[in-house]
Chain A
């Protein structure tokens, strides 16, 4: 029998409550686990948390990431070429959880990483290393029950993605189902910094709030503090930025510099705090 561990289940709730009180939105960086290798990845994650990341969205490297643009594809390839395995990913997760017991940790996976290796095994291992939520990039609403049922069995929060052009029926269903937070897609297409984020309309945010949706977190194309500020004023509860973070790291690796994303994360987080006007 699965036991309900309410302590873990509330990490997102606690975070979003605290941020609301402080009039901030969540800044959530995404990185591919094991990119550019196991040690550096751990180092990067520590940097990000210390620089102000409110939560983490982490991906297992995958051979066929169809929802990702060239930057995250590259991170996937580099991690796989560094020999990063599923076991390595769970190792990193366990380490991070031990160091940051209150930090919400979400996984962003492709369906085969969960299905091909055994649905329950994956959710159970994720639970055991302290993962809060799982989002599956290629499991839409109409196929979600398989995953959602496993998530429920292992008390993991299943996050769903809502496209900006979804009809009312779909908005309602996804608002109902998504736990922890709701991943609001800023635009169509794949991840990447090449196409800027779209900013959701007030009507959409109002409607989702009326539907009692989990906190709205905007992702895809969040590249600069300006994007974060725009999302913040539109009324979302948080933003996810992946390609922009990885792009910084790739540039530093190319130059042969020590990798350091602290400044970038700090700048993004500042924009997540500040009311509309820029700093003096």
Chain B
């Protein structure tokens, strides 16, 4: 046994609320992870793969045209340029290396927008692992290109019909699989949510985003940015960007949730931190969207990756402590930002990331001259083209 195990809690949030049958698998993962990150060979392999296979470091791009105040600079951390098209690949490489270390050849995962699933298919193909992806039936429908991508690279994609047919149901199904298969299967949870130690592991492997961004902005500006922006579904790209700035009190940290069709319409948004209450979902005490009986509510967002009625427990903690401010933008605001960034910067953002861009654009109007804002452009928008096209057609009629 290792001494000084990390706490499974973030204040009153977190924990390991899973059926007893899964506890040994999670404890084995924790032990493996703690050993791995103190092992130079593991870290060397991880960073080598990030560099030579995934394409790190990703650039920091200064927007030239979209800032509403030319004296307020908006930088984009370009995770959209990472292999796979989103930040997801960072931690998938990390967890697949952990699976290898545990001798587990079969990998399962859930996916919402399909980005985590694609990253899994990519790394699975590269490392010769057997990959099964659970995806909500509704998401399979709206992300068909990503489904094809996954299958192309050899992953098995299973459409999940139960519940709302979205991300939360895909997580349920993956956990059900794992509770029978844990001996030879590793569950690669795709976001900084779920039971301990997933929030810890996902954050660790995503921290590279903020660490690079910090060095990059210091190199060009000679100072830290005034505010960071990241979209929050489960919250992995946000925690990855924020982690290295949490102890920098002069940097505002802003997490952006999906307000969908409006926060006042129940079931039509995914603003868990904005409107939720304390509960237990997918293995952790966190903020969740639920009714008075404790039933999990349906969420909505135009972006499948943010369509989730829970959130990582550390975000619930950071909201409580006041260190991070969580806001939300609507489907329409995100779409507007999607078009603006495409048209004026030549960058097509993922609809998820467009939420963070939209909030930064709003804030840029209020910020004093000379401010520096940094947005995590967590993914690229190719996967969203069909949906945006459909939406534009609807608008036209």
The residues of A with any CB-CB pair to B shorter than 8 Å are: 62-67, 69, 73, 77, 80, 85-86, 111-117, 137-143, 160-163, 165-167, 185, 188-190, 195
Residues of A with C-beta under 8 A to B295: 62-63, 80
Task: Give 29 pairs: A residue, B residue, CB < 8 Å, sorted on A.
Answer: A64-B163, A64-B296, A66-B179, A85-B293, A86-B293, A111-B280, A112-B280, A112-B281, A112-B288, A114-B294, A115-B280, A116-B277, A116-B290, A117-B292, A117-B293, A137-B19, A138-B283, A139-B17, A142-B23, A143-B17, A161-B20, A166-B24, A167-B24, A185-B20, A188-B21, A188-B182, A189-B180, A190-B179, A190-B180
Q: Which of B172, B176, B282 has the most CB of A within 10 A?
A: B176
B15→A143 contact, CB < 8 A: yes
A112→B19 contact, CB < 8 A: no
Q: Which of B279, B282, B292, B295 has the most CB of A within 10 A?
A: B295
Within the assembled complex, what's the spacing in Å between the Cα atoms of A53 and B97?
Answer: 50
Residues of B with C-beta under 8 A to A65: 172
Residues of B with C-beta under 8 A to A116: 277-280, 288, 290, 294
Closest Cβ of chain A to B18, distance in Å, is 6
Within the assembled complex, what's the spacing in Å between the Cα atoms of A117 and B260?
Answer: 26
Closest Cβ of chain A to B100, distance in Å, is 23
Residues of B with C-beta under 8 A to A166: 20, 24
Residues of B with C-beta under 8 A to A111: 17, 280
Within the assembled complex, what's the spacing in Å between the Cα atoms of A116 and B286?
Answer: 10
Question: With A62-B294, A63-B296 given, can you name 13 additional A-B contacts, CB distance below 8 Å?
Answer: A62-B295, A65-B172, A112-B279, A115-B280, A115-B285, A115-B294, A138-B19, A140-B18, A161-B19, A161-B21, A188-B179, A189-B179, A190-B179
Residue of A nearest to B297 (CB): A63
Residue interface bits B13-38, CB-to-A below 8 A is 1, else 0: 00111111111100000000000000
Residue of A nearest to B290 (CB): A116
Residues of B with C-beta under 8 A to A142: 16, 23
B348 at the interface (CB under 8 A from A): no
Residues of B with C-beta under 8 A to A140: 16-20, 22-23
Secondary structure class of chain B's binding surface, majority of residues? mixed
Residues of B with C-beta under 8 A to A62: 294-295
User: Given that A137-B19, A166-B20 are known contacts, is A112 also in contact with B296, CB under 8 Å in the complex?
Assistant: yes
Residue of A nearest to B292 (CB): A117
Within the assembled complex, what's the spacing in Å between the Cα atoms of A116 and B285?
Answer: 9
Residues of B with C-beta under 8 A to A167: 24
Interchain CB contact (< 8 A) of B294 among A66, A112, A195: A112
Closest Cβ of chain A to B339, distance in Å, is 36
Within the assembled complex, what's the spacing in Å between the Cα atoms of A139 and B21?
Answer: 11
Residues of A with C-beta under 8 A to B24: 165-167
Residues of B with C-beta under 8 A to A117: 292-294
Closest Cβ of chain A to B194, distance in Å, is 11
Within the assembled complex, what's the spacing in Å between the Cα atoms of A189 and B19?
Answer: 10
Residues of A with C-beta under 8 A to B22: 140
Closest Cβ of chain A to B137, distance in Å, is 14
Residues of A with C-beta under 8 A to B168: 64
A162→B292 contact, CB < 8 A: no
Residues of B with C-beta under 8 A to A195: 180
**Ranked 8 nearest A-B pairs via Cβ:** A189-B180, A116-B279, A116-B294, A140-B20, A86-B293, A111-B280, A117-B294, A112-B280
B175 at the interface (CB under 8 A from A): yes
User: Given that A188-B182, A190-B176, A190-B180 are known contacts, is A112 also in contact with B290, CB under 8 Å in the complex?
Assistant: yes
B162 at the interface (CB under 8 A from A): yes
Interchain CB contact (< 8 A) of A67 among B19, B169, B278, B296: B19
